[in-house]
Amino acid sequence: MPEHLSEQKLSELVSRAKSVRKNIIKMITEAKSGHPGGSLSAADILVTLYFAEMKVDPHRPADAERDRFVLCKGHAAPVLYATLAEKGFFGHDELSTLRKIDSRLQGHPSMKDTPGVDMSTGSLGQGLSAANGMALAARLDGKNYRVYALLGDGELEEGQVWEAAMFAAHYKLDNLTAFVDFNGLQIDGPVSEIMSPLPIPEKWRAFGWHVIEIDGHDYQQIYGAIQAAKTVKGKPTMVVAKTVKGRGVACMENVCDWHGKAPTAEECSNMLEELG
Amino acid sequence: MGKATREAYGEALRELGRENKNIVVLDADLSKSTKTNVFAKDFPERFFNAGIAEQNLMGTAAGLAAAGKIPFVSTFAMFACGRAYEQVRNSISYPKLNVKIAATHAGLTVGEDGATHQAIEDVALMRAIPNMTVIVPADALETRYAVAWAAQYHGPVYLRLGRMAVPDVFGDGYEFKHGKAVELANGADVTLIANGVMVAPARRAADELIAAGFSARVLNMHTVKPVDKEAVIRAAQDTGAIVTCEEHSIIGGLGSAVAEVLVENHPVPMERVGVLDVFGESGTPDALLAKYNLTVADIVRAAKRVISRKE
């Protein structure tokens, strides 16, 4: 496995991420509610996972051998749905049903409803525990799949996260790689002002994890961290990915108010134009 | 005196562990009390102590189930249903994951530890969650059957187990049918519907009622959800009066489940024997049962009251 993305792969990721970001904006606008800021900040991580790394087959979403992904920050469901659609788990046309009655695309991910969703999440703090269970099951069953999880930085304020952190290190779950989408903002303001989870890397190190710090919008760095994590033995890996909330849409970048607000139709068309 | 249901649980788990390699067991630093240590001794590679961290305990079980394992998760009922309520709801029941929550030390009969450890609302909490099945076994044999049933059923199950030893209610030939009440005695004047540690007292109450000139039907309602509606309606039709008996708050548990069936189908006079919306306290199990109106005499009094209310 090469440590670096080929030029060809890199340009594919750039184009996939652009499509995912546009779909995030479109689907949230259509739904008239949802969480664009934290979806955009996580987009490059999901695109790299699903298009450069994870062993998943959109035609066999329940394959027992597949790699798993748990979106712990479940409110970023639009980035997961847009990525799954991009990957072919379902059609892009379905994205416009987000948050509507009878839709398979619930406001927060529901594994019973949506092909490709490996765990129901949304209540913050619970996802990493489920990822622990999946990683443990892989070991028990002698399977080689890996488990990926993505947490929010505000989510680190939940106590359960640290219960799960202890557990993963105690049971040496080295088939688990988690990310913190470190965009620095939560609903009520900067994480450092609301209830600081800082310093983040030091906390995970103290809990017994291997920690890698990267720019969460640099595909080579994301990919490099994923590869490095696979070589770590006896420890789970936490990739602390510095990101920008709202990344890719200038008026949303680093603006708290775009945590959980839908763009108007006019704003949407401007944003889509900007994304290209 | 027979065994505590938690003792029977530990033994049942060990048997299951031999038969089914997908069974895994998790505990939160109470394995000596919940008796999961019996399984841990024989199958250490399939036992996971999560430490004193019940939220992660439930979430990890959800993940194991999502990947095809059959986790039995144990801690005290207070922590399984109280501390980790939302993990049980959102991580386990919402996705209908195949997790068995076998909670011990339920009810007042925890005893001396007092109110902080006496879950009297656990059945109410678990019963209110969609997709959840709730079973309250009466004795060791019924516990073994309930555990075996839970293992082969696909979906979340709450098993309510006790700390103290209880008399054996059932013997050879007993057959556990999920969702079906067990008739322990028949009678014409009133039906006593009980579960868990209150089944044995309900039976004795029926005997005492005979001396007073009344005959009572006794039903063991081991499955509170789904409750056996047919048995409740038949009891109302045949005997015209109902008394529920449970070591749980009168709010939300067996009494509520039976009342819901009655009012919508066949209203008859009803009394609830249970904890009267108060917290418990320290004391021996017997002293607590006496002080909180959970004795044979309390059931007999309730039966006489309800019979007197009949038309």
The answer, for A94 touching chain B at a CB cutoff of 8 Å, is no
Nearest-CA distance A263 → chain B (Å): 29
Diameter of chain A measured on Cα atoms: 52
- The count of CB pairs under 8 A between chains A and B is 111
The SS3 call for residue A83 is: helix
The SS3 call for residue A218 is: coil
| CB pair distance less than 8 Å for B51 and A137 | no
The answer, for B155 touching chain A at a CB cutoff of 8 Å, is no
The answer, for A149 touching chain B at a CB cutoff of 8 Å, is no
The answer, for A96 touching chain B at a CB cutoff of 8 Å, is no
- Reported ipTM: the value is 0.96
Residue in the block written with tokens 């269970």 = A133
Option in A119, A133, A171 nearest B61 (CB): A133
CA atoms within 13 A on the CB side of B182: 25
Option in A70, A112, A126 nearest B87 (CB): A126
* Residues of A in Cβ contact (< 8 Å) with B69: 133, 137, 140
Option in B67, B91, B94 nearest A137 (CB): B67
Rounded-to-integer distance, Cα A218 and Cα A220, Å:
6
Considering only alpha carbons, which residue of chain B is nearest residue A109? B95
Classify the phi-psi angles of B106: left when phi > 0, otherwise alpha if psi is within -120 to 50, otherwise beta. Answer: beta
Nearest-CA distance B25 → chain A (Å): 12
Nearest by Cα to A50 from A7, A79, A93, A91: A79
Q: Residue A145: its pLDDT value, please? A: 98
Distance from the Cα of residue A32 to its chain's centroid: 22
Option in B50, B67, B94 nearest A134 (CB): B67
Question: Are B71 and B47 spatial neighbours (Cβ–Cβ below 8 Å)?
Answer: no
| CB pair distance less than 8 Å for A119 and B63 | yes
Catalytic residue among B54, B121, B142, B246: B54
Residues of chain B with pLDDT under 50: none
Residue in the block written with tokens 């067991």 = B25
- Percent of chain B at pLDDT above 70? 100
Nearest-CA distance B87 → chain A (Å): 7
Bridge-based pairing of strands A176-182 and A185-186 is unpaired
* Residues of B in Cβ contact (< 8 Å) with A170: 51
Structure tokens at B289: 């049962």
* CA geometry: angle A89, A92, A96, nearest 5 deg: 120
Rounded-to-integer distance, Cα A261 and Cα A208, Å:
37
* Residues of A in Cβ contact (< 8 Å) with B64: 133-134, 136-137
Cis amide linkage into residue A199, ω under 30° from 0: yes
| CB pair distance less than 8 Å for B62 and A130 | yes
Considering only alpha carbons, which residue of chain B is nearest residue A127? B59
Question: Are B125 and B225 spatial neighbours (Cβ–Cβ below 8 Å)?
Answer: no
* Residues of B in Cβ contact (< 8 Å) with A129: 55-56, 58-60, 62-63, 87, 91
pLDDT digits (tens, 9 = 90+) for A176-232: 999 999 999 999 999 999 999 999 999 999 999 999 999 999 999 999 999 999 999
| CB pair distance less than 8 Å for A136 and B91 | no
Rounded-to-integer distance, Cα A38 and Cα A225, Å:
21
- Other CB atoms closer than 10 Å to residue A2's CB: what's the count? 8
Rounded-to-integer distance, Cα A44 and Cα B165, Å:
58
* Among A residues 11-70, those touching chain B with beta carbons less than 8 Å apart: 64, 68, 70
The answer, for A240 touching chain B at a CB cutoff of 8 Å, is no
Residues in chain B: 311
Active site residue B54: yes
Nearest by Cα to B176 from B138, B206, B216, B203: B138
Question: Are A80 and A71 spatial neighbours (Cβ–Cβ below 8 Å)?
Answer: yes
The answer, for B94 touching chain A at a CB cutoff of 8 Å, is yes
Considering only alpha carbons, which residue of chain B is nearest residue A108? B90
Q: Which helix or strand (DSSP H or E) is residue B217 part of?
A: strand B216-220
The answer, for A108 touching chain B at a CB cutoff of 8 Å, is no
Long-range own/partner contacts, residues A52-55 (CB < 8 A, 24 or more apart): A52/A5, A52/A9, A52/A13, A52/A219, A52/A223, A52/A226, A53/A223, A53/A226, A54/A146, A54/A148, A55/A145
| CB pair distance less than 8 Å for A163 and B64 | no
- Identify the residue among A65, A71, A126 best suited for mutation to test binding to B, counting B beta carbons within 10 A and taking the highest: A126
The answer, for B66 touching chain A at a CB cutoff of 8 Å, is yes
Rounded-to-integer distance, Cα A80 and Cα A70, Å:
10
Question: Are A140 and A82 spatial neighbours (Cβ–Cβ below 8 Å)?
Answer: no
Structure tokens at B9: 């649980």
3-state helix, strand, coil in chain A (%, to 5): 50, 10, 40
The residues, any chain, with a CB within 8 Å of residue B173's CB and separated by 6 or more, are none
| CB pair distance less than 8 Å for B90 and A68 | no
Nearest-CA distance B188 → chain A (Å): 47
The DSSP code for B24 is E
CA atoms within 13 A on the CB side of B10: 22
Domain ranges in chain A are: 7-275
* Among B residues 32-61, those touching chain A with beta carbons less than 8 Å apart: 45-46, 48, 50-51, 53, 55-56, 58-61
Handedness of CA B158, A126, B68, A171 (dihedral sign): negative
| CB pair distance less than 8 Å for A123 and B90 | yes
Domains along the sequence of chain B with CATH: 5-160 (3.40.50.970), 182-308 (3.40.50.920)
CATH of domain A7-275: 3.40.50.970
Rounded-to-integer distance, Cα A146 and Cα A62, Å:
15
pLDDT digits (tens, 9 = 90+) for B37-58: 999 999 999 999 999 999 999 9
The answer, for B71 touching chain A at a CB cutoff of 8 Å, is yes
| CB pair distance less than 8 Å for A130 and B66 | yes
Q: Residue B1: its pLDDT value, please? A: 78
Task: Tell me the pLDDT of chain A (276 aa) as tens digits.
Answer: 557 999 999 999 999 999 999 999 999 999 999 999 999 999 999 999 999 999 999 999 999 999 999 999 999 999 999 999 999 999 999 999 999 999 999 999 999 999 999 999 999 999 999 999 999 999 999 999 999 999 999 999 999 999 999 999 999 999 999 999 999 999 999 999 999 999 999 999 999 999 999 999 999 999 999 999 999 999 999 999 999 999 999 999 999 999 999 999 999 999 999 999
Nearest by Cα to A81 from A94, A68, A63: A94
Where are any strands of DSSP class E within A82-236?
147-152, 176-182, 185-186, 189-190, 210-215
Q: Residue A3: its pLDDT value, please? A: 77
C-alpha radius of gyration, chain A, whole number: 17
Q: Residue A2: its pLDDT value, please? A: 57
Structure tokens at A117: 């969703």
